[in-house]
Amino acid sequence: MNIINKNQDIEIEAKFEVLDINLLKLWLNKYAKRISKKRVIDIYFVSPHKNFLKYKFPYEWLRLRDEGDKFTINYKHWYPENLQRTTHCDEFETTIGSIESLKKIFTALGFKEIAIVDKYRQNFRIDDMELSFDNVKGLGYFLEIEYKGEEIDIELINKKFSKYQHHLTTALGKRNYRGYPYLILEKNKLLPRIK
């Protein structure tokens, strides 16, 4: 058992493609509490001194997020590195005043924009989990489950994700370990396809 304190900026989440939208909506409305509904635009960048995309399975991402009323900058480092399946990540995030100004700073410093993820997101809560039902432009529908508790046991939490998949077996497809920017880059043939 590997227990980590939540204040160490660790994120554990699972993402599943949605196969039956109506069944998932029924389940969420029955068992979960709706938190919010909004459009989210994520812009991903690579640094001029560290190319995150040089690996077959990129494990670092730098993101600017526009939620309409809130703007953030976020860096994630996934583990294990450069493997198809990951279990958790370091996540560092803070609010910013202007995405446009930070984009200009990034451009001046040589950062390159590599992907935009435009999604409509409905957030729900069940116990210590936040469930995000996403309609991602160009990719389709997904359910993202993120652990929001205080103490983290990586192995136990990943088993909990499997239980959600089991309860929603006809609504959800296989777990997707790569994330939206990877899927968009892969779709645009900017990364090797996973077999």
Could you tell me the residue range of the domain that residue 154 belongs to?
A: 3-187
Residue 194 placed within a domain: no
On the question of pLDDT at 97 being above 60, the answer is yes
First-last CA distance in the chain: 32
Residue 182 placed within a domain: yes
The model carries a pTM of 0.91
Q: How many CB atoms lie within 10 A of CB 148?
A: 14
Residue 195 placed within a domain: no
CATH number at residue 115: 2.40.320.10
Query: Tell me, what's the pLDDT at 167?
Result: 82
Query: Tell me, what's the pLDDT at 2?
Result: 52
Residue 7 pLDDT class (50, 70, 90 cuts):
low
Residue by residue, DSSP assigns 84-134 as S---EEEEEEEEES-HHHHHHHHHHTT-EEEEEEEEEEEEEEETTEEEEEE
Q: Which of 195, 193, 126 is nearest to 164 (CA)?
A: 126
pLDDT over 70, % of the chain: 94
Q: How many domains does the chain have?
A: 1
Q: Tokens 């435009």 label which residue? A: 118
Residue 192 placed within a domain: no
List, for residues 15-64, the tens digit of each pLDDT value.
999 999 999 999 999 999 999 999 999 999 999 999 999 998 999 999 99
Mean pLDDT over 133-154 rounds to: 93
List, for residues 146-185, the tens digit of each pLDDT value.
999 887 888 899 888 988 888 888 899 989 998 999 999 9
Per the annotation, the verdict on 44 as an active-site residue is: yes
Residue 193 pLDDT class (50, 70, 90 cuts):
very low
Residue 67 placed within a domain: yes
Point out the catalytic residue in the list 44, 141, 147, 164: 44
Tokens of 146: 């993120």
Tokens of 186: 């892969």
